[in-house]
Amino acid sequence: IVLPNQATAEELQASKQPTEDSLDLAAWKDEMPEKDAEEIESIFRTDEEIAHKEAIFNSLNKDYLVQQERKESERAKEEVSAQDKQDDELAQAEGHARYVKSKTGRKRRKDGPEGETQTTEEALLAAVSTRKISRKINYDAMSSLFGEDGGFST
């Protein structure tokens, strides 16, 4: 390859060699002597000769061909089993993800409605007041558990 900017004057001149014509194979065969044509034809095998040579090759190399087929089938089975294993692991991971609880958990409310921190007594009374009143809970005894500051009394 000659780059136009880097070519010498001689390289830019047209070629002095005559261009060759394309070869017409049929005309070439016709002009060839009969003896040479037979010799060239004897080089190429017929379909029957090809089938015969292939049968000989297969019989001589039968063990090798069987071994190669076995290796190929084992490789294909391994690929299928690897794909199945990968699919099973993916399905198992998806199933596991469905049953694993999220780490976020329930957020607890620390502040009262006005934004002030509630005492334990206030929080307990607020929780009880929002729910149904039960006959099994002694609310007076529950109130007596707390002191005046909202902490537990002893």
Alpha-carbon span 139 to 133, nearest angstrom:
9
- Check residue 144 and give its pLDDT: 77
- pTM here? 0.34
What are 92-127's pLDDT values in tens digits?
888 888 777 655 555 555 554 555 667 777 777 777
Q: What is the DSSP string of 40-97?
A: HHHHSPPHHHHHHHHHHHHHHTHHHHHHHHHHHHHHHHHHHHHHHHHHHHHHHHHHHH
Phi, psi dihedral angles at 152 (to 5 degrees): -70, 140
Alpha carbon separation from 146 to 59, 113, 131, 134 (Å, rounded): 100, 21, 20, 20
Give mean pLDDT in consecutive 10-residue pieces for the chain, a chain of 154 residues. 76 77 78 84 86 94 94 96 93 82 57 61 75 71 71 61
